[in-house]
Amino acid sequence: MSLLHWEERYSVGVAAVDHEHRELIELINRLYAEATARESKDAIVNFFGDLFKAISSHFALEERLMRERGYDQFAQHKNDHERLLDELRDIMEDFEANAGVDEKLLARSLDAWFSRHFESHDARLHSLLRDH
């Protein structure tokens, strides 16, 4: 099943960025579907590894842009990126301790984080960059 669904409230108002975020969500869904189809603990552990990689590389791209442009809210934005990675780490540790993924919790955390982060930090960053 799909872990996440694109929501209108995720939109940052810049088509290219929305496209990239949609691709990130699709990638997460694909990785998750592959992992759950294999029904093994290793597959889920790998899924978390891949999830981290996919999200981290998206963040790295934004952080590079912010550094290059001398973005004024770089620290706050980067902190929010770190916060999601911390949350995911907690969910993964919980999985390793209990050998089960709380799928609803994982979906809810990602959804809550994406909607908040996309509509605040990413919307501000990308609308500023678009005007320059």
Q: What is the CA radius of gyration of the chain?
A: 15
In the bound complex, what is the minimum distance in angstroms from residue 12's beta carbon to Fe ion? 8
Choices 44-52, 63-71, 94-102, 122-130 (CB under 5 A): range interacting with Fe ion: 122-130
Both tokens of 114, joined, read 């994406």
Q: Which is nearer to Fe ion, 25 or 122 (CB)?
A: 122
Q: Which is nearer to Fe ion, 32 or 122 (CB)?
A: 122
Furthest C-alpha separation in the chain: 49
Tell me if 122 contacts Fe ion by CB under 5 A: yes
Cβ atoms of residues 122 and 62 within 8 Å:
yes
Q: Which is nearer to Fe ion, 46 or 120 (CB)?
A: 120
In the bound complex, what is the minimum distance in angstroms from residue 50's beta carbon to Fe ion? 18
Interaction residues for Fe ion, span 57-76 (CB under 5 A): 62
| Residues 18-57 as x/- pattern, contact with Fe ion by CB under 5 A | ----------------------------------------
Q: How far apart are the first and last CA of the chain?
A: 40
Which ranges of the chain does DSSP label H, i.e. alpha helix?
15-38, 41-69, 74-98, 103-117, 123-130
In the bound complex, what is the minimum distance in angstroms from residue 95's beta carbon to Fe ion? 25
- What is the Cα–Cα distance from 10 to 32, expressed in whole angstroms? 20
